[in-house]
Amino acid sequence: MMIDNNFEENSALEMDTSDGLLKYREMFHIPKIANGEYSIYLVGNSLGLQPINTIQYIQQEIKTWKILGVNGHHEGERPWGSYESTINNKMASLAGSKVDEVVTMNSLTVNLHLLMVSFYRPTQERYKIMMEAKAFPSDQYAVASQLKFHGYQPEEGIVEIEPREGETTIRTEDILKTIEKEGKSIALILIGGINYYSGQLFDMKEITRAGHVQGCVVGFDLAHAIGNVPLKLHDWDVDFAAWCNYKYINAGPGSVASVFVHNRQGRNEDLPRFAGWWGHNKETRFEMPSKFDPIPGAEGWQISNLNILSAAPLLPSLDLFQEVGMDALREKSVKLTGYLEYLLNQLNSEAFTIITPSDPEQRGCQLSIRFTSGGKTIHERLTGKNVMCDYREPGVIRVAPAPFYNSFDDVYRFVEILKEIV
């Protein structure tokens, strides 16, 4: 990837002026702090900001419910009965999937469990689950509890790949070597496409290929990847994936989540699954037959009818993604995060190191900054100066300039404030 690294000659304000996406900043509500000043919001990796159109979409459904009652399921501007199809269309382009390979339902960890019901099928010889070290705790708990559910000890069943001694990121070659060496005992490879802590982006295509050679099922948790980096889940031949929509997708706190199931798997009716009426063939769903006939594709994993008030914010947000396109967002993102890295390196400070890979191909927009000491206090002082970012033990402040609404000036001001503090 070619990146323009002539940051010295460009001031932040000049880069903002020539940024074709700057106008999108106006399409989001940027939180203000006590004195009415805008915050420097660098925590879209935890909760994305609210698009200004979101309220209209929620109000629309409140109104439809008020005026039409139950008829809102098949009447009104966006009938609830087919609401998920509208979302799937837009979501598929972010996932790099066929339309029938994605569905929006439940929440992320719940979906990981439901997908493991189908895709973690341990046998005596092949029962292990491979993960990256320091996976998001919820994923670790989910995996450990699935192992226990099947009668295995998590300590024996989890294969964790770590960075080498003295390194902060995991080498792809080490992942591939472990798959090759231990693959025959691994039932499932489940990795965070971008690790939430280090910000490392994994080579999902290669991992999937290597896993399949060994006969493993390969899934990804894309909570930190969706809407952050371009994805090609179908072409990479990934078996399944899951993500939440409140981080880079900006659909609001706890908003409904999504999953991907590759058509190779989605059309396989022999896979075990926990079924519910919403996954049943739409033609006969309301004839209320007693035998379950799954919808082919990801929609067949639905259990309940969609939470419309939670799903409504997805539409305006996904429309913004359609309008701009992941390629343009990624292009700005690489530059914006590159600028952040450049300014941090200019500080030449002994107080911290960046633990996120410096290769843009191995990261999204987030940089994780590890402080030698006093990370928590530094975070508190940043907060006192209107910077919104987050702190994760041990010693790491995660900073994520989101290309939709962060400016080069945000990044510049953040580093100036950090410079004062350290």
Ligand X SMILES: *Cc1c(COP(=O)(O)O)cnc(C)c1O
Contacts with ligand X by CB under 6 A lie at 107-109, 136, 138-139, 192, 196, 221, 223-224, 244
For ligand X, give the closer residue by CB, 109 or 118.
Answer: 109
Minimum distance between the CB of residue 108 and ligand X, rounded to whole angstroms?
4
SS (H, E, C) 345-388: HHHCCCCEEECCCCCHHHECCCEEEEECCCHHHHHHHHHHCCEE
DSSP symbol at 103:
E
Minimum distance between the CB of residue 223 and ligand X, rounded to whole angstroms?
3
Minimum distance between the CB of residue 312 and ligand X, rounded to whole angstroms?
18
Minimum distance between the CB of residue 194 and ligand X, rounded to whole angstroms?
9
- The answer to whether residues 274 and 303 touch, using CB atoms and an 8 Å cutoff, is yes
Tell me the two tokens of residue 116: 């493991």
How many other C-beta atoms are found inside a 10 Å radius of the C-beta of residue 109? Answer: 18
Minimum distance between the CB of residue 366 and ligand X, rounded to whole angstroms?
11
For ligand X, give the closer residue by CB, 12 or 143.
Answer: 143
- Phi and psi for 267 in degrees, rounded to 5? -100, 5
Of 101, 125, 87, 307, nearest in space to 215 by CA: 125
Residue 190 to residue 179: CA distance in whole angstroms: 12
Cβ density class 403-417: b for 16+ within 10 Å, e for less:
bbbbbbebbbbbbeb
Minimum distance between the CB of residue 221 and ligand X, rounded to whole angstroms?
4
For ligand X, give the closer residue by CB, 343 or 355.
Answer: 355
For ligand X, give the closer residue by CB, 230 or 253.
Answer: 253
For ligand X, give the closer residue by CB, 222 or 418.
Answer: 222
DSSP 61-106: HHHHHHHHGGGGGTSSSS-GGGHHHHHHHHHHHHHT--GGGEEE-S
For ligand X, give the closer residue by CB, 107 or 200.
Answer: 107
Task: For residue 40, give the H/E element and its range.
Answer: strand 40-41
For ligand X, give the closer residue by CB, 111 or 406.
Answer: 111
For ligand X, give the closer residue by CB, 199 or 360.
Answer: 199
How many other C-beta atoms are found inside a 10 Å radius of the C-beta of residue 123? Answer: 8
For ligand X, give the closer residue by CB, 100 or 221.
Answer: 221
Residue 387 to residue 24: CA distance in whole angstroms: 20
Tell me the two tokens of residue 409: 């000036």
How many other C-beta atoms are found inside a 10 Å radius of the C-beta of residue 291? Answer: 6
For ligand X, give the closer residue by CB, 245 or 407.
Answer: 245
Minimum distance between the CB of residue 422 and ligand X, rounded to whole angstroms?
28
Minimum distance between the CB of residue 46 and ligand X, rounded to whole angstroms?
8
Provide the edge-to-edge strand list for the sheet that holds 240-243.
102-104, 258-261, 240-243, 217-221, 186-192, 128-132, 158-161
For ligand X, give the closer residue by CB, 350 or 393.
Answer: 393
Minimum distance between the CB of residue 106 and ligand X, rounded to whole angstroms?
9
Minimum distance between the CB of residue 74 and ligand X, rounded to whole angstroms?
30
CA separation (Å) from 181 to 186, 210, 213, 218? 10, 11, 12, 16
- Which residue matches tokens 């022999």? 270
Minimum distance between the CB of residue 136 and ligand X, rounded to whole angstroms?
3
Provide the edge-to-edge strand list for the sheet that holds 390-392.
352-354, 367-371, 396-399, 390-392
Task: For residue 310, give the H/E element and its range.
Answer: helix 308-311
For residues 384, 386, 390, 391, the Cα torsion angle rounded to the nearest 10 degrees is -20
